[in-house]
A and B are shown apart, each in its own frame.
Chain A
Amino acid sequence: MEKSILEVENLRIRYGGSETDAVRGVSFTLGRERLGIVGESGSGKSTVGRALLRLLPGATITADRLRFAELDLPSLSEKEMLKVRGRRMSMILQDPKFSLNPIRRVGDQVAETYLRHFKCSKAEARDKALAMLEAVKIREPKRVYDQYPHEISGGMGQRVMIAMMLLADPDLVIADEPTSALDVTVRLQVLNILDRLVKDRGIGLIMISHDLNLVRNFCDRVLIMYAGRIVETLAAADLDKAKHPYTRGLLAAQPRIGGGRTPLAVLDRRPEWLEEIA
């Protein structure tokens, strides 16, 4: 791997008021690639994503190293962080219904990214936003620009979010369960759009998901998290060759089309998984 965009070493996150760390010693590096983080709810995968953007007020974040491009993230002030967030690193959230402002036109929300980070006129920002809406395959971008979030479908809303997050041409996009609120048919369309844009622009992508099929199809490398730790790192193509019993358990628990109707394997959680280090 050539130059990495992100280096994380021994990241620990503790929520305020909690006695244990939610994320315990996570280390990874990310190049211009698509990295999946998989795990069950509560395994700390979203917490890692939010910590990178410093979106965890009240939580204590410590790390031996947390480098993004040339920046040392922990040393940045909140003011400097504002220039990173949305401009160089952005996050696509799970549910467009709750992540878009319900009382503003969707196009204006997309254009805001550009207005905030670049010196330009409103008309310029509008043109940029329209072009981006077209890039995420929204038909009639002019009409959609003036609509409100409740007037567009979930799949369209998620594409609007993608447009918003890619408009400033960031180096790193963190997608937190970008499609779990969508139907299978729409999900595939949205993922293909995201995938193509990320590839064309050479953006680093962190895909946070609990869906093994999704990371298998849309990521190069996969980290598997359990109880705040990374238990295994694999190339996505080798997911079937996973060695850790937790990963194997997750794979076996997934019903498959054409699979036998035998009872599905159920995870037998071992206490030693909590302490192992991959």
Chain B
Amino acid sequence: MSVSVECRDLAITFGAGPTAAKVLPGVTFSVKPGECFGLVGESGSGKSTVLRCISMLTDIWTGNILIDGKPVRDIPLIERCRTLQMVFQDPYGSLHPRQSVRTVLNEPLVIHKLGDHEERMRRAITDVGLPVSFLDRFPHQLSGGQRQRVAIARALILEPSLLLLDEPTSALDVSVQAEILNLLQRLRDERGFTYIMVTHDLAVVDHMCDRFAVMLHGEITEILPRDAIPGNRATHPYARELIGASLEYEGAH
């Protein structure tokens, strides 16, 4: 099951009065069902804020966000959480240090009054390639890559259709990043998830995404297909600079 996402004139301002900061002046993009959409740009350009708005973790925005044609504000909380889930950047910060993996995975099942807890937890943990015995571990007994897998399992356990990925691999080593990217790719092939992925690594975008938006100071400068990267076919100067820098950094093949 896949859903589409549409953002229209998404704008958000933090603070009030003369010190108010307009973080997103008006962002518009749409993501097709089953697509992997990338958001790239420098730090502070508002990439993560877009995800937080879509997931309603920040809800003071104006504009429209439609998920499968329905305004996200009108979707009841319980239904919203079953439709979309988020995976955060830092697996060291996003898991409760005193909760075992079992507790972490059990909580959403209780909240959503789902049955077969044990069976669902086993399935989720196996889906992310960890042994079932890991259910009884605590975060400090896991490596960074394993923690991120648990965070992904937590997002998967409610069987959502849309995953919001906020730099899911930037805290990890390349070798571990490869495992997580393969996992995300496989899950998408199997379940037809829609992904919106924030990253600053264009090689990851090239590997995972179909299209991506380049953000600068909260605005989308350009939306490009993935194959615009190798030949740097961007037209906006900042997008060109970003892609150019990434190509140069890769050793310019």
Q: A253 within 8 Å of B by Cβ?
A: yes
A254 CA to B176 CA in the complex, in Å?
A: 10
Q: Which of A41, A257, A265 contacts B202 (CB 8 A)?
A: A257
> Is A264's CB under 8 angstroms from B182's CB?
yes
Q: Tell me the bound Cα distance from A120 to B14 in angstroms.
A: 47
B107 within 8 Å of A by Cβ? no
Give every chain B residue within 8 A of A210 (Cβ-Cβ). Answer: 173-174
Contact check: which of A185, A213, A263 meets B250 at CB < 8 Å? Answer: A213
Does B200 sit within 8 A of A, measured CB to CB?
Answer: yes
* Residues of B with C-beta under 8 A to A255: 177-178, 181, 201, 203-204, 206-207
A210: nearest chain-B partner, CB-CB? B173
- Asked if A257 contacts B174 (CB within 8 A), the reply is no
Scan A36-50; emit 1 where CB is below 8 A from any B CB, else 0. 000011000000000
B179 beta carbon closer than 8 Å to chain A: yes
Taking A41-B144, A257-B206 as contacts, is the C-beta distance between A266 and B175 under 8 angstroms?
yes
Indicate whether A184 reaches chain B with its CB closer than 8 angstroms. yes
- CB–CB A188/B173 < 8 A: no
Indicate whether A250 sits within 8 Å of B175 (C-beta atoms), given known contacts A41-B144, A184-B200, A264-B207: yes
Least CB distance from A224 to B in Å reads 12
Whether the Cβ atoms of A259 and B173 lie closer than 8 Å is no
Given the contacts A258-B253, A263-B182, A154 and B206 also touching, CB distance less than 8 Å: no
CB proximity of B218 to chain A, nearest CB, Å: 15
A249 to B201, CA, bound (A): 20
By a CB distance below 8 angstroms, the chain A residues around B245 are: 184-185, 187-188
- Which residues does chain A contribute within 8 Å of B178, judged by CB atoms? 253-255, 264-267
Is residue B31 contacting chain A, with contact meaning CB distance below 8 A? no
A197 to chain B, nearest CB (A): 19
A183 touches B202 (CB 8 A): no
A257 near B203 (CB under 8 angstroms)? Answer: yes
Please give the distance in Å from B240's CB to the nearest CB on chain A.
11
The CA of A254 and the CA of B230, in the complex, are separated in Å by 16
Contacts of B203 in A (CB 8 A): 254-257, 259
Task: Report the nearest A residue to B177, measured CB to CB.
Answer: A253
Cβ of A217 under 8 Å from chain B: yes
Nearest A residue to B171, CB-CB: A41
Tell me, in angstroms, the Cα distance from A256 to B229 when the chains sit together: 11
Known contacts A185-B42, A185-B245, A188-B249; A258 and B175 CB within 8 A of each other: no
Compute how far the CA of A252 lies from the CA of B124 in the bound complex, rounded to whole angstroms. Answer: 28
A250–B172 alpha-carbon span in the complex (Å): 13
Chain B 171-195 against A: per-residue CB contact (8 Å), 1 yes, 0 no?
A: 0011111110110011000000000
Contacts of A258 in B (CB 8 A): 206, 229-230, 253
Q: Mark B231-253, 1 if CB is under 8 A from A, else 0.
A: 00000000001100111111101
Give chain A nearest CB distance to B164 CB in angstroms. Answer: 20
Q: Is A261 an interface residue (CB 8 A)?
A: yes
CA separation between A186 and B44, bound complex, in Å? 13
The reply on B30 being an interface residue by CB < 8 A is no
Contact B202 A253 (CB under 8 A): no
Give Cα A267 to B249, complex, Å.
Answer: 23
A-B contact pairs, 23 of them (CB 8 A): A40-B174, A41-B144, A41-B173, A183-B43, A184-B249, A185-B241, A185-B242, A186-B42, A210-B173, A214-B249, A217-B249, A253-B178, A254-B174, A255-B181, A256-B207, A256-B250, A256-B253, A257-B247, A263-B185, A265-B178, A266-B178, A266-B179, A267-B175
The 7 nearest A-B residue pairs measured at CB: A253-B178, A264-B178, A255-B207, A258-B230, A40-B173, A183-B42, A267-B175
Other A-B pairs beyond A210-B174, A257-B250, A264-B207, 19, CB < 8 Å: A40-B174, A40-B175, A41-B173, A183-B200, A185-B245, A188-B249, A212-B174, A213-B249, A250-B175, A253-B174, A253-B177, A255-B178, A257-B203, A257-B230, A258-B253, A259-B207, A264-B182, A265-B178, A266-B179
